């Protein structure tokens, strides 16, 4: 999945508390210290408090937990859940589902092979979405219609179905717009997080 051309560049830079690398917010996950001193993942970047930034990779989040990086960065005793890496993945997945659902509600996302094919053939698609556990032949047929379109394959059929208010969904397409850019950006973050 090549999304770099569709995701806007960011200017604010943040430093990872584990690796020390500096990067844009899109390549990092923000954490905050909650009122009960628990470390809380803030994948949307909207919670109040000073942000503790970690590279958007599962192995780096695990390293932050094992090396007590959150305590050092917060300069306080904090409570860190042992399954924090799983919580981050679940939140990133839920955020992606919610954004696709929002795109559906405003008419910028369609699902179903026939509808997706119609959007692709009319050159109104910004991206394809294919269930990760869907059949390869259907994905291949749609990708062949528009090989230059990015294809998001980070969700299962059940997860994609939730975005469309259905039990399952296998094929979907996004029309161009700010929501499509947001979906592509979140899909890239989730893919980066899982790939490590």
pLDDT tens-digit series, residues 79-91 = 999 899 999 999 9
Quickly state the pLDDT bin for 3 (edges 50, 70, 90): very low
Rounded CA-CA distance 185/189 in Å is 6
User: Following CA atoms 120, 123, 124, 129 in sequence, which dihedral angle do they give, to the nearest 10 degrees?
Assistant: 30
Is residue 4 predicted with pLDDT exceeding 80? no
Quickly state the pLDDT bin for 136 (edges 50, 70, 90): confident
pLDDT for the residue numbered 149: 92
pLDDT for the residue numbered 58: 96
Residues 47-64, mean pLDDT to the nearest whole number: 95
103 or 147, which is more confident? 103
Residues 106-112, mean pLDDT to the nearest whole number: 95
Is residue 181 predicted with pLDDT exceeding 90? yes
Task: Write down the mean pLDDT value for the chain.
Answer: 91
Locate 24 and state its tokens: 């844009």
Is residue 9 predicted with pLDDT exceeding 80? no
Residues 43-52, mean pLDDT to the nearest whole number: 93
Residues 69-98, mean pLDDT to the nearest whole number: 95
Q: Which residues contact 17 (CB under 8 A, 6 or more apart)?
A: 52, 53, 54, 64, 69, 70, 72, 73
pLDDT for the residue numbered 75: 93
pLDDT for the residue numbered 138: 75
Domains delineated in the chain: 13-82 (3.30.1230.10), 89-195 (3.30.1330.30)
Locate 72 and state its tokens: 């050092």
142 or 130, which is more confident? 130
pLDDT for the residue numbered 12: 82
Would you tell me how many other CB atoms lie within 10 Å of the CB of residue 131?
24
168 or 7, which is more confident? 168
pLDDT for the residue numbered 37: 94
Residues 55-78, mean pLDDT to the nearest whole number: 95
């Amino acid at each position: 999945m090549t999304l770099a051309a569709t995701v806007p560049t960011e200017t604010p830079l943040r430093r990872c508390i584990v690796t020390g690398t500096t990067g844009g917010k899109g390549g990092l996950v923000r954490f905050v210290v909650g009122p009960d001193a628990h470390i809380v993942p803030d994948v949307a970047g909207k919670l109040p408090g000073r942000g503790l930034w970690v590279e958007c990779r599962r192995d780096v989040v695990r390293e932050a937990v094992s090396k007590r990086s959150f305590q050092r960065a917060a300069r306080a005793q904090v409570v860190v859940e042992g399954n924090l890496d799983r919580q981050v993945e679940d939140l990133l997945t839920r955020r992606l589902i919610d954004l696709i659902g929002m795109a559906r509600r405003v008419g910028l996302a369609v699902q179903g092979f026939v509808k997706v094919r119609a959007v692709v053939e009319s050159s109104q698609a910004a991206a394809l979405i294919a269930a990760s556990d869907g059949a390869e032949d259907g994905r291949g047929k749609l990708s062949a219609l528009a090989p230059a379109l990015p294809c998001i394959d980070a969700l299962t059929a059940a997860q994609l179905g939730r975005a469309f208010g259905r039990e399952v969904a296998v094929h979907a397409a996004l029309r161009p717009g700010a929501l499509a850019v947001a979906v592509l950006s979140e899909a890239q973050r989730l893919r980066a997080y899982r790939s490590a």
